[in-house]
Amino acid sequence: MSDIRTVATTPFEGQKPGTSGLRKKVTVFQQPHYLENFVQAIFDAVPGGAGATLVLGGDGRFYNRVAIQTILRMAAANGVARVLVGRDGLLSTPGASCVIRARGAWGGIILSASHNQGGPDGDFGIKFNPSNGGPAPERITDAIHARTGEITEYRLVDAPEVDLSVEGTSRVGSMAVEVINPVADYAALMETLFDFEAIRALIRGGFRLCFDAMHAVNGPYAHEILENRLGAPAGTVINGTPLEDFGGGHPDPNLVHAHDLVARLFGDDAPGLGAASDGDGDRNMILGRRFYVTPSDSLATLTLNATQAPGYARGIAGVARSMPTSQAVDRAARAMGVPCFETPTGWKFFGTLLDAGKATLCGEESFGTGSDHVREKDGLWAVLFWLNLVAATGRSVEDLVRDLWARCGRVYYTRHDYEGVDTGAAEDLMETLRARLPDLAGTTHGGRVVRMADDFAYTDPVDGSTAARQGVRILFEDGARVVYRLSGTGTEGATLRVYIERPEDDPARHDQDTQAALANLIRVADDLAGIQARTGRGEPTVIT
C-alpha cells in the first residue's frame, strides 16, 4: 500500500453549502488546500466511508478533472474501498444519483455548479449525496460545515493520475477505481419507466424533436437515449459535446439562454417538441411548437397524466413542490385525489417525502422536475416523460397543457431575478419586508386584499426537522401570490428572486401574455418591497 501523507491545513471561512452544495468561483477552489479541506470534512463528518463504495463525477466543467484526481487520492487515504467514476469524469447529477442507488454506494461526490457559467473565470461546485442518492439534508451539510471550521489536516496518498478516458479498473493505493460508462445504469432505468417502443413508433411515424444539451453533461446521455435507443435522427441533439466552458454560454435552460433551441421551436417548420437541460443535467425546459411550457405547468401536466407512463401506471402517491413553485400542481393533485406537499426551495427537502413514499413526483419552478426513480431532479427524465405522453395520447405538447388549463384553470406565473445586487441592499430589502409582515394582512394593494403574509417556515412531515426564513410570501384573497427570497446558489453579490402568480379560472382568458396578465401584480411586488428604490434596478436581469 502506498504511503498516506498527512498535510497540515487551517480552516477557510465560508465553506458552507447553499441551496445545492458549495459553490464558489473557480479561483477560490484553486487556492491551495481549499478543495482538500472540504473533501476531508466530508470524510470526517459523514461516517461509513471507510471500506465502502463512493461514486464520483461531475458536469465536466473547468477544474472537474483536477478535482477528481485529488479526490481519488484523498478517498484512498481515507480508506474508501472502491470508487466508481464516470468516464472522462462525467456524471450528470441525476446519473450520479442513479448509480449511488443502483450500486449500493455509501454516497457520491458530485462536482458541479449546475447552470452557473464555467471556465477559469466561472464557477465550480461540490456536493455530497448520501446512500439514498439525494442531496445531503441540512443535518449533514451542517456537520460538514462545522468540520470545515475546525480542520487541521487532511490525508492523501501519492499516486499517479488515473486515466479517466477508458473504462476499466485500476488502483490508487489499495483502493479500486472503476471507470464506468456514465450513461449505462441511467439509460437502463429510463427503459423501465417509459414506453420506449411507443416513443420509437412515434418518431418512426415522423414526429420530430430537438434536444439542446447546451454543451453540457447531458450530451452523451441524450445521444445514447434519444438517438441510439429511440431512433431519433442524428442532429436531434444539438450542442451535444460537453465542453469545459460550455462553449462560453450559460448552461441554463430558459428562453434567454437556450437561444439555439428557441430559434428552432419558434421558427418555420418547427419540431413537435423542444427541450434543453442545464450544466449538470438536472434541469429541463420543455417547448411545444411555438409554445413555452412553464416548469410549474409541466409538473402539473405530468401529475394529471402520470398513469400514461408504465413506471407510474399504478398511480402516484402524492406530489411535492417547492414553496415558490406555482399552485398549478396543487390543482392537478386535487383533481387526481392525491396530497400535495409544499417544501422550501432546494431538492434536498424532497428526500424524506420520496424515501417515505409520500410523494412520487416533485418539482420546482426553476426548471426542475423529478420523481422517486432517483433522488435528484432529472432533466432527461422529464423529456422522456413528455415524449411518452405525446406518444400515448396522440396529443401535442400544447394540447396537453391546454387540457390542464381547461380542467384545473390556468395559473399565470413569472419569476423576476435581479442578479448581482449589492448584498447589503438586498438584505435590507428582505429585513424591511419581514418587519412589515405582521401588519400586512387585511391591507389592499392594486385592488387585492392580503389574506396572509409570513416568512415561510417548514417542518418536515417525515422526520420533524425544521427550516426557517425560507422566503417571504404574500398571499392575496383571490389566490394571487408574491414571494421574495434571496438566491442560495450565486457567487457574486446577491440575487433577489421575485415570484409572481395569479390563477385565472375563466377559459376565455387563458390566452393572455404572461407579463401582461400579471402587470398589476408585478407593480404591487415592486411597490411592496421598494425594489427599484432599494436596488436601483428598474428592470429584472432575467425573466422566466
Q: Report 96-115 residues binding Co ion (CB under 5 A).
A: 114
Q: Report 106-125 residues binding ligand VG1 (CB under 6 A).
A: 114-115
Q: Are 412 and 512 in contact (CB under 8 A)?
A: yes
> How far is the C-alpha of 476 from the C-alpha of 327, rounded, in Å?
13
Q: Residue 499 touches which of Co ion, ligand VG1, none (CB < 5 to 8 A by kind)?
A: none
Q: What are phi and psi of 260, to 5 degrees?
A: -60, -45
> How far is the C-alpha of 74 from the C-alpha of 56, rounded, in Å?
12
Q: Which three cell numbers, joined as nine digits, stand for 58?
A: 461531475
Scan for cell 470524510, then name that residue: 43
Residue 88 binds ligand VG1, judged by CB under 6 A: no
Residue 283 binds ligand VG1, judged by CB under 6 A: yes
> How far is the C-alpha of 305 from the C-alpha of 458, rounded, in Å?
29
Q: Are 224 and 187 in contact (CB under 8 A)?
A: yes
Stretch that binds ligand VG1, among 40-48, 258-266, 387-395, 485-493 (CB under 6 A): 485-493
Q: Print the binding letters for residues 11-40 with ligand VG1: x by CB under 6 A, - otherwise.
A: --------xx--------------------
> How far is the C-alpha of 326 from the C-alpha of 363, rounded, in Å?
10
Q: What is the DSSP letter of 193?
A: H
Q: Print the binding letters for residues 303-342 with ligand VG1: x by CB under 6 A, - otherwise.
A: -------------------x--------------------
Residue 345 binds ligand VG1, judged by CB under 6 A: yes
Among 62, 194, 347, 386, interactor with ligand VG1 by CB under 6 A: 347
- In the complex with ligand VG1, the residue whose CB is nearer, 127 or 534, is 127
Q: Residue 346 touches which of ligand VG1, Co ion, none (CB < 5 to 8 A by kind)?
A: ligand VG1
Catalytic residue among 92, 112, 114, 277: 114
> How far is the C-alpha of 59 from the C-alpha of 38, rounded, in Å?
19
- In the complex with Co ion, the residue whose CB is nearer, 93 or 352, is 93
Q: Residue 373 touches which of Co ion, ligand VG1, none (CB < 5 to 8 A by kind)?
A: none
Q: What are phi and psi of 271, to 5 degrees?
A: -70, 170
Q: Are 498 and 447 in contact (CB under 8 A)?
A: no
Residue 218 binds ligand VG1, judged by CB under 6 A: no
- In the complex with Co ion, the residue whose CB is nearer, 115 or 223, is 115
Q: Which of 111, 132, 112 is nearest to 46 (CA)?
A: 132
Among 40, 327, 487, 544, interactor with ligand VG1 by CB under 6 A: 487
> How far is the C-alpha of 487 from the C-alpha of 495, rounded, in Å?
5
Stretch that binds Co ion, among 147-155, 270-278, 358-366, 510-518 (CB under 5 A): 270-278
Among 97, 305, 366, 470, interactor with ligand VG1 by CB under 6 A: 366
CB of 401 to Co ion, least distance (A): 23
Residue 501 binds Co ion, judged by CB under 5 A: no
Stretch that binds ligand VG1, among 284-292, 344-352, 403-411, 435-443 (CB under 6 A): 344-352
- Active-site residue flag, 97: no
CB of 361 to ligand VG1, least distance (A): 16
Residue 282 binds Co ion, judged by CB under 5 A: yes
Q: Which three cell numbers, joined as nine digits, stand for 285?
A: 425546459
Q: Are 335 and 407 in contact (CB under 8 A)?
A: yes
Angle of CA points 495, 499, 502, to nearest 5°: 170
Q: Are 305 and 329 in contact (CB under 8 A)?
A: no
> How far is the C-alpha of 140 from the C-alpha of 48, rounded, in Å?
13
Q: How far is CA 506 from the centre of its chain?
A: 33
Q: Residue 487 touches which of Co ion, ligand VG1, none (CB < 5 to 8 A by kind)?
A: ligand VG1
Q: Are 426 and 535 in contact (CB under 8 A)?
A: yes
> How far is the C-alpha of 176 from the C-alpha of 417, rounded, in Å?
45
Residue 325 binds Co ion, judged by CB under 5 A: no
CB of 535 to ligand VG1, least distance (A): 17
CB of 315 to ligand VG1, least distance (A): 27
- In the complex with ligand VG1, the residue whose CB is nearer, 124 or 405, is 124
CA atoms within 13 A on the CB side of 86: 32
Q: Which three cell numbers, joined as nine digits, stand for 290?
A: 411555438
Q: What is the binding site for ligand VG1 (CB under 6 A)?
A: 19-20, 114-115, 278, 280, 282-283, 322, 345-347, 364, 366, 368, 487-489, 497
Instruction: Tell me which residues are annotated as active site.
Output: 114
